[in-house]
Each structure stands twice: as C-alpha cells, then as structure tokens.
C-alpha cells in the first residue's frame, strides 16, 4: 500500500492482465476449452458466423478483382460484364452483396448479445475495443464498396453522405468550421464525386481497410482465445460443453448451413431486385438525380433520423453512441447482465423498427409537417 506504482508499472500490469500470453497453449485452446451451456448459448455462434461471412467476402472480393475496373468510364461496364457475361459472374457478385448484408446482420447480433452477456467485462476490454473497431471497419467496407459499381444510386448516395460531412461545419466554432470541408475534400479528392473519389474508395475497400481489418481481427481472436469463453449469465451455469470436438462440430455444421443458404440466395435472387431498375443505370453526371436514392439497409438507423430530425440532434446522438461504444467497459462496469439485456433489447428494437418501418415513419412525419 505504501509504495505507489509508477505509471509504467500500471501500464504493464494492465497489459499482462488483459493479454495473459502464458495461457497460450494447446491445452487451453483445444483440449481443456469448455463452452458454458445456458439459455443464451446460441449467441456464442454469432462471432464465428460473422467470421464465415467475412471469409466469403474475402474470397469473392478477390474473385471480383479479376474483372472489375476502377475508372469512371469503365467501372459500371465492368460490373455489367461480370453480371451478364462472365461464367458464374452473377453468382460471385450476388454472393459478395448477400454475404456483406449477412455479415453486418450477424455482426450486429454479435455486438448486442456480447453486450447483453457482459462480454466486455474485465479482463476482456481488449476484445470489446477491437470488436468495436471491427464494427466500424465493417460499416466502412459497406460504404466504400457501395460506390464501386458507379451507378446512379451509388454515386448520388455517396454524394449525399459526403456533403453531410460538410454540414457538420455549421455547428462548429470559428476555427474548426472549415475542418469538415477539408475532411470531405480529403475523402473526395476533387470538387465533386469523380474519378479521384472512385480511386480512393477502391484503394480503401480493397487494400487499406482489409489490412487494418486483419490486424484488428488478429488481436480480437487472440484476446478471445486467451480469456476463453465468457460465462454469459449472472449465475454461472454448472453445465459446460467441450469445445473440441462438440462445439466446433456444431459450429462447422452451422457454417455449412449458412453458406448453403447464402449460396442458394445468391443463385436465385439478385440483391438488386429490392430496388427499382433505373437506379442501376450508369451514373450520368449531366442528368438529374433519380428518385429513391437511399443507402443500404444497414445505414437506415442513421439515414431515417437524418431525414426526420434536425441534423445537429442526429450528429449529437451519433457522437454519444460512438463514444458510448468504446467506453462501454468503464460505463457498465458494475451493471448486472439483466439491465444490460434490457438495454440491448431496446437497441435491437430500435434497429428493427427503423430498418423495417423507417420509410413509413418518414412518410408519416412528412405528411404531418407538409
């Protein structure tokens, strides 16, 4: 008690507590690993499922690289070529789009359940932080990938998002007011969304984001392996299941099933069938913006609030949500899992309602105000 630890000592203590590398053994990872059995056990599969969809993204993404051309004059034509002329090209492309949506869905369930099961509690902070970063990276993948086909909806939606970055400047004090504009131009690369933007998004989507993703994923998985599987409920259950071979067999079984489902979906149903066709014509810089410009469904949770509420409220909300995500391990340190489950359920309910009924809510609001 009398001796105060130096800052450096505290840092090393923190790290050795969070990354107990001495636990890294075959026994801990395979023969002795146990998975708790209780009502929420199904949630232990969600991370693995997300990983499966990421692997599908990786493989199909590399496949698409063989034919895709990232220039404003050729991008759309090359995507059309892949879709209509390359053998199984439609399949690869559909797999890529379907599996991206599946990945984000599983990821959201994974985050919410991990939160409800207090998977972030000490010593698992690093798992949570790296996971949060993976969440943001995944959304960035979605955003950058959306532009690449260079059709009307892609380019115009990207324009809208980039322009709204500039809007933030209105609410910043004097010296910072121009900062968002610089950021926008840094991302956009030229006065309007054009070749420079496409090249930047391509580089981000294909090289930079994947590299960051791999590193973060490595840390995430390492941390998961070191700490084992979290107990998940407040009163730890006595029943466990051996990870090897039982849990992993079921995990693979689920992977096979999930792959089969996505594969059949990709074979039978083009992802684009959810939008009206003119949106998928090549972007025309001289024409008007077509109706129905919308982001992908997984951005509805921020898109519809932006449509309905004043801009600054949404921005404030997003800032708090983002900060809350990373500060979760300290904010909810002493919260019981029961309360956490309620918070997660509310968040899930919000996501479900805004994703399914966002359009209806938006129309109701517009009907009242106009």
Partner 1 sequence: MSDQFLFIALPYVALISLVIGSILRFRINAFSYSSLSTQFLEDRWLAWASMPWHIGIIVILTGHLLAFSFPGVWTTLAAEPVFLITVEVVGALCAFLCLFGVLILLVRRFVDAKLQAVTNHLEIVVLLILLIQISSGLAVALLHRWGSSWAPGALGPYLHSILMLRPDAAYLSDMPPFVKMHIATAWVLLMLLPFTRLVHAMSLPFHYFFRAPQKVVWNSSRSEARFEQRLEKDTERRLFIKASVGLGASAVLLSLGTLDKFFKYFLKQDLSNEQEAHLLSEKLHRLKQSAQEREYELERMSKDDIFVAKLSDLSKTKGKYFIDYQMRPALAFRDENGLPILLSAKCTHLGCTVGQDLDEQGRVLCPCHISYFDIKTGSPSAGSPAKDPLPHIGWALQNEQGKTLLAQDAEGRREGSIEPGQLESSLLFIVKRFSGEAA
Residues that bind partner 1 (CB under 8 A): 63, 66, 72-74, 76-77, 80-81, 85-89, 91-92, 156, 159-160, 162-164, 167, 191-192, 245, 249, 252-253, 256, 259-260, 263, 282, 285-293, 307, 366, 369-370
The answer to whether the CB of 153 falls within 8 A of the CB of 275 is yes
CB of 291 to partner 1, least distance (A): 5
Closest separation between CB of residue 159 and partner 1, Å?
Answer: 5
107 Cβ neighbours under 8 A, 6+ residues apart: 50, 134, 135, 138
298 Ramachandran zone, left/alpha/beta (phi>0; psi -120 to 50) = alpha
Q: How far is the CB of 282 from partner 1 (least distance, A)?
A: 7
Q: Which is nearer to partner 1, 139 or 311 (CB)?
A: 311
Between 61 and 89, CB nearer to partner 1: 89
Number of C-beta neighbours around residue 152 at 10 A: 20
Q: Using CA atoms, how far apart are residues 39 and 182, in angstroms rounded to an integer?
A: 50
Q: CA-based Rg of the chain, rounded to a whole angstrom?
A: 23
CB of 216 to partner 1, least distance (A): 28
Choice between 174 and 370, CB closer to partner 1: 370
- Least separation in angstroms between CB 357 and partner 1: 19
Q: How far is the CB of 370 from partner 1 (least distance, A)?
A: 5
Angle at 325 between CA 321 and CA 328, to 5 degrees: 125
Least distance in angstroms from the C-beta of 189 to partner 1: 14
Burial tier of 55 (Cβ tally within 10 Å: 0-12, 13-18, 19+): middle
Instruction: Mention every residue, 6+ apart, whose C-beta is less than 8 A from residue 72.
Output: 150, 194, 195, 198, 283
H helices within the chain, ranges in order? 7-18, 26, 46-65, 75-84, 89-116, 125-147, 152-167, 179-188, 195-203, 209-227, 248-268, 300-308, 311-331, 337-369
DSSP symbol at 34: E
Quote the CA–CA distance of 60 and 98 in Å, as a whole number.
11
Q: What is the dihedral of CA 111, 115, 117, 122, to 10 degrees?
A: 110
- Report the C-alpha gap between 131 and 241 in whole angstroms: 25
Cβ atoms of 275 and 146 within 8 Å: the answer is: no
| Half-sphere CA count of 119, side-chain side, radius 13 A | 26
Work out how close the CB of 179 gets to partner 1 at its nearest, in angstroms, rounded to a whole number.
18
The residue (of 218 and 245) whose beta carbon lies closer to partner 1 is 245
90 or 297: CB nearest partner 1: 90
**Between 95 and 117, whose beta carbon lies closer to partner 1?**
95
Q: Minimal distance in Å, beta carbon 1 to partner 1?
A: 52
| Residue 80 half-sphere exposure toward CB, CA atoms < 13 A | 10
Q: Rounded to the nearest whole angstrom, what is the least distance from the CB of residue 87 to partner 1 in the complex?
A: 4
CB nearer partner 1, residue 13 or residue 281? 281
Name which of 177 and 349 has its Cβ closer to partner 1.
177
């Amino acid at each position: 008690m009398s001796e105060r630890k130096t800052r450096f000592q505290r840092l090393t203590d923190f790290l050795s507590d969070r990354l107990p590398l001495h636990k890294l053994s075959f026994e801990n990872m395979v023969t002795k690993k146990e998975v708790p059995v209780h009502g929420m056990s199904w949630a232990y599969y969600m991370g693995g499922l997300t990983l499966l969809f990421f692997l599908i993204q990786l493989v199909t993404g590399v496949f698409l690289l063989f034919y895709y051309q990232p220039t404003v004059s050729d991008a759309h034509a090359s995507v059309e070529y892949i879709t209509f002329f390359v053998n199984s090209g439609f399949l690869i492309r559909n797999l890529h789009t379907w599996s991206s949506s599946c990945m984000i869905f599983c990821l959201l369930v994974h985050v919410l359940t991990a939160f409800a099961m207090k998977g972030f509690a000490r010593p698992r902070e690093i798992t949570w932080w790296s996971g949060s970063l993976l969440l943001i990276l995944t959304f960035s993948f979605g955003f950058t990938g959306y532009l690449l086909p260079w059709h009307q909806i892609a380019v115009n939606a990207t324009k809208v998002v980039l322009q709204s970055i500039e809007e933030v400047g209105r609410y910043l004090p004097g010296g910072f007011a121009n900062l968002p504009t610089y950021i926008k131009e840094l991302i956009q690369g030229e006065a309007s969304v054009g070749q420079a933007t496409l090249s930047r998004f391509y580089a981000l989507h294909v090289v930079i984001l994947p590299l960051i993703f791999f590193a973060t994923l490595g840390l995430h998985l390492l941390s998961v392996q070191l700490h084992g599987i979290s107990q998940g409920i407040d009163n730890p259950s006595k029943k466990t299941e051996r990870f090897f071979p039982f849990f992993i067999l079921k995990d693979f079984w689920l992977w096979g099933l999930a792959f089969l489902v996505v594969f059949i979906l990709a074979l039978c149903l083009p992802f684009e069938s959810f939008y009206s066709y003119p949106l998928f014509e090549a972007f025309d810089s001289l024409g008007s913006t077509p109706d129905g410009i919308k982001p992908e469904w997984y951005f509805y949770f921020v898109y519809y609030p932006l449509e309905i509420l004043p801009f600054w409220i949404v921005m404030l909300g997003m800032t708090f949500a983002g900060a809350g995500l990373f500060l979760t391990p300290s904010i909810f340190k002493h919260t019981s899992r029961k309360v956490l489950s309620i918070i997660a359920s509310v968040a899930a309910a919000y996501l479900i309602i805004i994703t399914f009924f966002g359009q209806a809510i938006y129309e109701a609001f517009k009907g009242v105000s106009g």
